[in-house]
């Protein structure tokens, strides 16, 4: 069965944007809807070992900023489905959102932002691949594509 509802989790990074482009092209070809999800991992950001104490004002600002960026991205890419922002554990919320929206394909990047967040996204992708009830397509952004050179 070809997918009609595609979920694209994004951390608003270049790698996630590349996965979204791929999902949008696939959706156009298949006549599918693309749903966009951003998860703010507030418990992760508030881990004392990272030396970050988040106030409710900071959290509210992050949510507002991410919601605006998500809506702008959805409009730019022409996403025809839901635009969802949630806070909590990305692994659980991606799977939960996929179930709530009845998606039949999840498309996500293999790597997101750099450093600690990048390591977390890689493990999030792996966890979703292992646990999702529907197929998961992972999209890797190759170095040649980043530099504008075509891979031979």
Which stretch of DSSP H or E encloses residue 77? helix 56-77
Of the candidates 128, 131, 135, which has an alpha carbon nearest to the alpha carbon of residue 112? 128
pLDDT digits (tens, 9 = 90+) for 108-148: 998 655 444 444 445 888 899 999 999 999 998 765 344 44
**pTM score, two decimals?**
0.82
Residue 140 has a pLDDT of: 85
Contact in structure between 2 and 30 (CB atoms under 8 Å): yes
At 152, the pLDDT band (50, 70, 90 cuts) reads: very low
Check residue 134 and give left, alpha or beta (phi > 0: left; psi -120 to 50: alpha).
Answer: beta
Contact in structure between 100 and 92 (CB atoms under 8 Å): no
Structure tokens at 60: 């509210």
Per DSSP, 13 falls in state: S
pLDDT digits (tens, 9 = 90+) for 19-66: 999 999 999 999 999 999 999 986 544 455 444 556 778 888 989 999
Contact in structure between 100 and 1 (CB atoms under 8 Å): no
Average confidence (pLDDT) over 94-115: 86
Q: Which domains does the chain have, with CATH numbers?
A: 5-145 (3.40.50.620)
Residue 20 has a pLDDT of: 96
Residue 122 has a pLDDT of: 59
Whole-number Å distance between alpha carbons of 108 and 19: 5
Whole-number Å distance between alpha carbons of 30 and 24: 10
Q: Is 75 exposed, middle or buried (0-12, 13-18, 19+ CB in 10 A)?
A: exposed
Residue 47 has a pLDDT of: 52
3-class DSSP assignment, residue 98? helix
């Amino acid at each position: 069965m070809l997918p009609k509802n595609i979920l694209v989790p994004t951390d608003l990074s270049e790698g996630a944007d590349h996965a979204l482009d791929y999902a949008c092209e696939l959706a156009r070809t298949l006549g599918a809807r693309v749903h966009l999800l951003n998860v703010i991992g507030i418990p992760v950001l508030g881990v004392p070992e990272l030396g970050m104490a988040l106030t409710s004002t900071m959290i509210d600002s992050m949510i507002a900023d991410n919601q605006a960026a998500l809506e702008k991205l959805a409009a730019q890419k022409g996403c025809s489905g839901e635009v969802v922002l949630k806070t909590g554990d990305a692994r659980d919320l991606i799977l939960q959102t996929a179930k709530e929206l009845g998606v039949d394909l999840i498309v996500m990047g293999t790597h997101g932002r750099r450093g600690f967040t990048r390591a977390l996204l890689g493990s999030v992708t792996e966890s979703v691949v292992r646990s999702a009830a529907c197929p998961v397509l992972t999209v890797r952004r190759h170095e040649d594509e980043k530099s504008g050179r075509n891979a031979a």
